Amino acid sequence: MHELSIAQSIVDIVGQYVPPAEQERVRTISVRIGAMAGVVPDSLQFCFTAVIHQTPLERASMEIEHIPFTVSCHSCSCTSETEPGIALCPLCGSADTEIASGTELQVVSIDVDEELTGAS
């Protein structure tokens, strides 16, 4: 399953920034997912929960920020949201566009508790 390996790599990224001893203090992991990233957010959320089960990250939650697919048009200089995968400018119909957003799949922040506040 695609999302499972993505969830695993998110956990790996957290591991690169947060030492193992501090991982149980991780509260929120924010990720940004573009409409064209090919990820089903619900499925990723589900896989993430499975991956962190019985690890120091078990109490962390993942926050998903959805990024719409947008193209910026060279003909009319507009950036507009459009149907994922269709790189035509929705305003003037030009195909002279480039993808402005929507392909992201990145960890944007890791929120770690200052102190370990009692076990819940």
Residue 28 or 75 having the CB closest to Zn ion: 75
Shortest Cβ 68–Zn ion spacing (Å): 17
Q: Which is nearer to Zn ion, 78 or 105 (CB)?
A: 78
Min CB(100)–Zn ion separation in Å = 12
Edge-to-edge strand list for the sheet holding 61-67? 61-67, 26-34, 105-112
Footprint of Zn ion on this chain (CB under 5 A)?
73, 75-76, 89, 91-92, 94
Do 72 and 97 contact (CB within 8 A), yes or no?
A: yes
3-class DSSP state of 41: helix
Q: What values do phi and psi take at 106, rounded to 5? A: -145, 150
Question: What's the min distance (Å) between Cβ of 17 and Zn ion?
Answer: 40
Min dist CB 70 to Zn ion, Å, is 12
Query: By C-beta, is 57 or 89 nearer to Zn ion?
Result: 89
Tell me how far the alpha carbon of residue 52 is from its chain's centroid: 16
How many CA atoms are closer than 13 Å to the CA of 77, on its beta-carbon side? 0
Task: Choose between 10 and 71: whose C-beta lies nearer to Zn ion.
Answer: 71
